[in-house]
Each structure stands twice: as C-alpha cells, then as structure tokens.
Amino acid sequence: MPATFRKSSASAPRGYFRWEAAGLVWLAAADGAPAVGVVEVGEQHLDLVRLEPGRPTPEHAETLGRGLARTHDAGAAAYGSGPDGWSGAGFLGPLAEPLPLPLEPVPTWRALHAEQRLRHTLRLGRDRGVYDAAATRTVEAVAARLERGELDDPEPPSRVHGDLWSGNVLWTTTAAVLIDPAAHGGHREGDLAMLALFGCPYLDRVLAAYDEVHPLAAGWQDRVLLHQLHPLMMHAVLFGGGYVAHSLAVAGHYG
C-alpha cells in the first residue's frame, strides 16, 4: 500500500471529500496531466497518495502543459456537468470555508458563466455585504453581455480542474501533479487563466507546450481577464480587501 497523506475535517460539508475524490478520479481517467491518486475517502477524510515535493523545472512545466491539453480534450457531457459519479452542486474554496459551486448542465459556456458563476457569486457577495448596488450593476453588465453572446466562443466543454491556481499544482521530483480540484465541464481557457492569476512557474513554457497539443482559439489572450473574474469574485467573497476592487475593475473592463 502506498504511503498516504490524509486531509480531514470534522466541519467539512457533507460530501465534500467525496466531491474532491470524484474530481481527482475523473481527471486521472483523462490520461493527461497527472492527478494525485485517491486511496480512501470517508465522510470526514480523504486519503491520498503521498507525493515527494520537488522544484519546478522547465521540463515538468512543458509536460504539464501538454498533459493539461489532453485532460481538457477528454471533454465533459456539458458545461456545468460534474465528474463521473457525482450529482448535484460541488464545492469551491478553502477547506476551512468551502462555498457551493452550482453544477447545472447547460449547452454553452456563456450560460454557465453568466448565471452559475458570476451571478451566483454576486449573490453570495451581496449576502455578506461585500458587493453593493453599484457593484451589482457592474457585474450584471458583464453577465448580460455574456447572455447576448458577445463574449462567448464555440469551444465545446472541456474536462477542467476548476480551481487551477498555482497552489493546486504540486511540483514533485518527477512531475507537476494536480491536487485539490473542483472538476467539472468548463472552458479550457478558465484553467489556464487561473494558472496566470497568481503566477505559475514557467507559465510561458506551460502555455507553449499546451498550444502544441491543442492550439488555443484566436483572441484567447483577450479573454484571460474574463475567465479570472469568477475566481477574483470568489476571493472577494471569502477574503474581502483588495479583491473587491480588483474584481470590479475586471468586470468594468468587460461591462
């Protein structure tokens, strides 16, 4: 039996660890970027294969980029669909305070992003007093443009990690491994935008290698901030501070 690492919490919402485990198994099944192996899952814990941390290298970054492209290309049943074996909403955010992640299958990314990501997070922010009426108008303007099809592209749903900030890539002695997913049917550019949001070692090598396997659609650079809006809003809800102004500045760019 492999050495294991246990994540546990007596206060985690019911199903939280099963959600994470389902996402890891689904990502691993794509035979793309490696995801940490699941050993055992319970209601209050998740046992994972223990990994040996290492330093980021250009070679591992390139392998990550090619692997992510293959993972995304494995696809999903629909935008907003959950990983195999999972039904209902998922979770997104730190273990100390995971927030609900709506997962209602829809035919387009614009429908998913407008209602289940931007408006959902806006409601959470309004409930916590993070976003006021003016902020609501700013975010609603982006959601309305999405619904009109002005900011969409015809990309089919990808099998995405869903929370791919640099801290959820564990660099080991042999590879860059995906951990802590919020996996679902989403937009490939969302994962890549998250990698860029807080900085990723050798990001240029990741993106170049990704583009070798699956060339990114024209104009993808112009959509990076659009894909970063939802995680910025989530950070505003969870942590407040400068994330509030940052998220509204990004929303204003598209509204």
**Domains of the chain: which residue ranges?**
4-254
pLDDT tens per residue across span 43-100: 999 999 999 999 999 999 999 999 999 999 999 999 999 999 999 999 999 999 999 9
Helix or strand (DSSP H, E) at 99: strand 99-101
Fold of 4-254: Aminoglycoside 3'-phosphotransferase; Chain: A, domain 2 (3.90.1200)
* Mean pLDDT of all residues in 211-234: 97
**Residue 162, Ramachandran bin (φ over 0: left; ψ between -120 and 50: alpha; else beta):** left
Residue 1's pLDDT band (cuts 50, 70, 90)? low
Query: Is residue 220's pLDDT more than 80?
Result: yes
- For residue 139, the model assigns a pLDDT of 98
CA–CA separation, 128 and 78 (whole Å): 31
pLDDT of the residue at 154: 86
Distance from the Cα of residue 1 to its chain's centroid: 30
Confidence of residue 209 (pLDDT cuts 50, 70, 90): very high
pTM of the model: 0.96
Collapsing DSSP states into helix, strand and coil, what is residue 129?
coil
CA distances from 79 to 8, 59, 60 (A): 30, 32, 29
Cα separation, 152 vs 255, whole angstroms? 14
Pairing relationship of beta strands 184-186 and 158-160 according to DSSP bridges: antiparallel
Task: Using the predicted structure, report yes or no on whether residue 107 has a pLDDT greater than 90.
Answer: yes
Q: Helix or strand or coil: residue 104? A: coil
